[in-house]
Structure 1
Amino acid sequence: MRNIIHFETLGCRLNQDESEGAAKRFSDAGFVCSMEGVTSATPVNENVLLCIVNTCTVTAKAEQKARRIIRLLLEKYPLAPVIVTGCYAQLDGPFIEQMEVSRIVILSGNKKELLSDLAEELKSCKTLSKDELRLFIQKKSDAKKENAFSLYTPVFEKHSRASIKIQDGCNNACAFCRIHLARGKSVSLEPEEVLRRVLELEDRGTGEVVFTGVNLSQYSAQDADGKKIDFTQLLEYLLSNTSKIKFRISSFYPQHITERLCNFLADPRIQPSFHLSVQSGSDEILKKMARPYRADDVIKAVELLRRAKNNPFIGCDMIAGFPGESEEDFILTTELCKKVSFSWIHAFPFSPRPGTPAFSMKAQVAPAVKNQRVKVLTSLAVQGKIAYINSCKDQIFPAVCENSRKDRLASTGLSNRASTGLSNRASAMLSNRASTGLSNRALQGSVHAVTSNFLHCKCLLQDGQEIPAPGTIVNVRIKEALLESIKNGGEEECLAEIIL
């Protein structure tokens, strides 16, 4: 039976949230959702009704990956049209469509909420040709006002930790970035609606929610009384009107980490992990990037966060080889990293993006130099992660149990969920064996969990020890860093034991 909707999601947590919301709409309409990535080893499946690709345009590599995935979908699911949406589709839709005009349909990233309508449409007619899909999208696009926050769901197909998109778009115009071109100006979800969604999760027993957005620092919305509410005020409002649920902040700009904000970050219900959008430690390069802060702002932000929370996990982004970045500029970046001791550094080489000022800047850095600088930053990242884990050794932290990627791909009795037509939730139900009460992960002797301070743990189990379902909070004791896994970019970075 052709009832499978296959999702591919690239890029940020925001894209993941939106894909989860769309998948819930199709699931509610009676379809089976497959959300594990297609590979060259995926068998051909003629039961897939539709493929949806949510793309990213941060780097040329992300776009290249999207095109590779689209080609695989066309090959592996030969009867399914492929809807391509997201930031890459928003900016380069006609180019993507030319890859296979007979089967690819472009859904602009700012119209992806139409996937909700499409789920209902397919529920009644069961199938749509590529031309019918295009006409449906065009008709709905003309009639429907954009709603950046409609693809919300409290129930997730793939992820164990809940999240709420509270902001979209960006008012900055950084020289290297074209996300603001794809997603437009900053918009924010009204505080009352944020609270309603948080309370819905809290009532369901959800222990933690992640706030997502393109630039959370720019959260700004009016409340019911017409008062302008910023992110700090939103936190205060949520903490005052909820009782148990904990909050995790996905990313923030350094200059917006203030004492006023940190007064609320110090609350025990704010998780002690933070990510700063840094990009460089050189003031000259930050100026060329049109970033609205300098290196001293980064140092101040880290100091404030460490005063607010006891030994928080603090990660950052760094771009290596921005045009004009000299060896001296790069040394300033490495010195900043060493001075503040980041727990992790997400380092990547500068990628010229069409439509941005940096695309045509002079003094482009040679690829070999960029790659070497990424290696240096990655080495610092590994050292920082190991040092941070060692600082947590033998301490006990609350953690959320998750299905690791390995678990998702090897559910009990299923070698390929897409070919059997089972969603992640359906597979999870099968793998929770009624006869033993133990999950497949328990039978294998370990479980994946993410601590409050964002350590991804391989938690060893005692013989016969039963593990709560994904999403359940447990206490774990950190034992040691998994050095090789960290160096190789593995999903699990430390060994831990569950404390019952």
Structure 2
Amino acid sequence: MSKKLFIKTYGCQMNVYDSERMTDSLVSLGYDPVTTPDDVDMVILNTCHIREKATEKVFSELGRIRREKEARAAEGKPLLIAVAGCVAQAEGEEIVRRAPFVDLVFGPQTYHRLPELVREAEQKAVERQAASGGRGTRGAGVVDTDFPVESKFDFLPEERHASSAAAFLSIQEGCDKFCSFCVVPYTRGAEFSRPVAQVLAEARRLVASGTAELTLLGQNVNAYHGEAAGGEWGLGRLIRELAEIDGLERIRYTTSHPNDVDEELVAAHRDVPQLMPYLHLPVQSGSDRVLQAMNRKHDAAAYLRVIDRLREARPDLALSSDFIVGHPGESDEDFAATLKLVTQVGYAQAYSFKYSPRPGTPAAGTDLQVDEAVKSDRLETLQQLLNAQQLAFNAASVGAVQPVLVERTGQKDGQLVGRGPYMQAVHFPGPDRLVGKIVDVRIESGHANSLAGMAVTGEWDGVPDRTSRNPEHERAIA
């Protein structure tokens, strides 16, 4: 009899990918994924350590799940509770100490061991249930937060549990940059690139199952240096090879570091029509002094030169970024430099946050912390500017025809929702059978976070795919 598995995923796209592969690896143990945590046999919290108070949010969620475990135990039904991801890696045994009802804790480098770990946790849970007369809730307490020598990617099932029109494909993991505010090098480990053959094989399987768009993932995805016959390939070379896969209509990648944008990657933006004209390129600050304190290893001028090279290669390129305000020691002048850079670049979208200390990172231990009220004021000012830029970018799309990859049906009857080349959500009316297809949509209105329009044809059968440049939008943002 099958068992129900619910995974709650926090944070980045890497965690989304990891959760999918956890699901794949547990199929052999009889676990089937479900979308709600009701009456399940196993819950996995796949955690993220980037956001503020991440650890406490996990313990709060564990408290809610504990009540469910107690209710099931009273009926003689077990509930296995697991904590995965970066909080698990950072906290390890502390999770079991504070939440002794947790059965399994494992880091992001060990999910290929999940079937073995679950079997161990299940056996210990049975033993503890028997010792308590079948009504106990004490967890198995299995912990694995090692950094194994072998690559987790070498041990995963070839088949992906589910396919969709757009899918993530992890090609690189870990980080060697050691930005002063970031925990990733400590929770994900050193940079590692999957071999080219392995990446191409997974990409072909995904496309064969119906995927039209792949987003290549990595903590520093453009630092990719995958082993291949005759030497290593960079991201630009890999993108060119992926573009040769019949049926792969779109390619994206995230997240990038400005220092790893080489000429081969710039040329791919120029030459590969499947590579979408939208790039997430975090800068974090516009102040050279703060960038140095962050250990970003570039200044604002270098970042702007990278953007100039990319825009020369692909004039219709749209950009998004990450910003941290209130990094220790940030002055009013430093913040003004960030506003200046934002104005110079003009972003289609951006993510901005107040700095919050991460235990164990260099910035957390300084005595130059910025007052919370100052950080809040600066964040509000920055977000007003970024939101205005995003709205202007969306408004500039009105009148253009965009090829939209339809991802799902909308909340309204007869409504479809998809993504255009620039990652904007696009709503338009159409039949359900268009889900998974690329449809040309004329944009009629641009809103703060989405676009709306009408398909340019009502001839739904044999809808053609579109991956070409968008001259209307190229003129609009020129």
Query: Normalized against structure 1, the TM-score is what?
Result: 0.80
Which region of structure 1 is more displaced relative to structure 2, 91-100 or 151-160?
151-160
Query: Relative CO higher for 1 or 2, CA cutoff 8 Å, sep ≥ 6?
Result: 1
- The structural deviation recorded for 1:400 is 2.1
Q: Does 1:370 align with 2:382?
A: no
- The structural deviation recorded for 1:364 is 0.7
Maintained 8 Å contact 1:156/1:162: no
Distance 1:142 1:277, change over 3 A: closer
Query: Which deviations, in whole Å up to 9, do the C-alpha atoms of 1:394-446 show, x marking residues without a partner?
Result: 21222222247xx6xxxxxxxxxxxxxxxxxxxxxxxxxxxxxxxxx5x7231
Distance 2:329 2:439 in 1: 48
Question: What 5-or-longer segments of structure 1 have no aligned partner?
Answer: 39-44, 408-440, 487-492
Distance 1:18 1:400 in 2: 24
Maintained 8 Å contact 2:109/2:147: no
Maintained 8 Å contact 2:100/2:141: no
Distance 1:30 1:175, change over 3 A: same
Maintained 8 Å contact 2:252/2:276: yes
1:110 — aligned with what? 109
What secondary structure is seen at the aligned counterpart in 2 of 1:468? helix
Question: What 5-or-longer segments of structure 2 have no aligned partner?
Answer: 73-78, 130-138, 458-478
2:324 — aligned with what? 319
2:468 — aligned with what? none
1:456 — aligned with what? 425
1:420 — aligned with what? none
1:42 — aligned with what? none
Distance 1:362 1:143 in 2: 36
Match of 1:481 among 446, 450, 475: 446
Q: Does 1:272 align with 2:271?
A: no
1:249 — aligned with what? 253
Match of 2:211 among 183, 206, 209: 206
Distance 1:131 1:162 in 2: 40
- The structural deviation recorded for 1:150 is 4.5
- The structural deviation recorded for 1:59 is 2.9
Match of 1:69 among 49, 61, 67: 61
Distance 1:61 1:141 in 2: 24
Query: Normalized against structure 2, the TM-score is what?
Result: 0.83
1:49 — aligned with what? 41
Identity of aligned residues (%): 25
What secondary structure is seen at the aligned counterpart in 2 of 1:109? coil
2:300 — aligned with what? 295
Q: Number of aligned pairs? A: 440
Distance 1:131 1:8 in 2: 26
What secondary structure is seen at the aligned counterpart in 2 of 1:370? helix
- The letter for the 1-side match of 2:202 is R
Which region of structure 1 is more displaced relative to structure 2, 255-264 or 348-357?
255-264
Q: Does 1:22 align with 2:22?
A: yes
2:234 — aligned with what? 230
Distance 1:70 1:263, change over 3 A: same
Q: Does 1:495 align with 2:464?
A: no
Distance 1:110 1:376, change over 3 A: same
- The structural deviation recorded for 1:389 is 1.0
Q: Residues 354-365 of structure 1: matches in 2 within 5 Å?
A: 354-365=359-370
Query: Which deviations, in whole Å up to 9, do the C-alpha atoms of 1:222-248 show, x marking residues without a partner?
Result: 2134x1222222223333565643211
- The structural deviation recorded for 1:136 is 7.2
Distance 1:296 1:151, change over 3 A: farther
RMSD: 3.0
- The structural deviation recorded for 1:98 is 2.7
Maintained 8 Å contact 1:321/1:370: yes
